[in-house]
Amino acid sequence: MSPSAIAIVRVQAFPGQAAALGDHLNAWLRQVRQQPGCQSGELQVLAVDRWQVLICWASQAELEAHLCGPSAQQWLGQLSYGNLALGLEFDSRSAD
């Protein structure tokens, strides 16, 4: 089945936190792959301290449900609380 929505997250590590952020993103992605509607998820290294996560969803509604859910909110909180991320960019688009 082809995805209906694609989420793209780019994250820049806080200075000195590149390895910790990479570990955090990998753990988070394993959880996201188990969410209803998630068809696939891939972590790409863009630079030593910058990553991109691509997640394909079966529908826009399932992507939005994930974004509003507790796991996504907890993940965002951990990024800022733990000083892991210096910056985060998010984009979503229809795959149609």
Give a three-class secondary structure readout of 37-60: CEEEEEEEEEECCEEEEEEEECCH
Which of 83, 69, 59 minimizes the C-alpha distance to 11?
A: 83
The reply to whether the predicted model has a pTM over 0.75 is yes
Query: What is the side-by-side strand order in the sheet with 50-57?
Result: 38-47, 50-57, 5-13, 85-94
Both tokens assigned to 38: 């998630």
C-alpha atoms less than 13 angstroms from C-alpha of 20 in its C-beta half-sphere: 13
Which of 36, 32, 33, 38 minimizes the C-alpha distance to 4?
A: 38
Q: Is the pLDDT of residue 81 over 80?
A: no
Domains and CATH numbers, the chain: 5-94 (3.30.70.100)
The 10s digit of each residue's pLDDT in 10-49 is 999 999 999 999 999 999 999 999 999 999 999 999 999 9
- DSSP state at residue 87: E
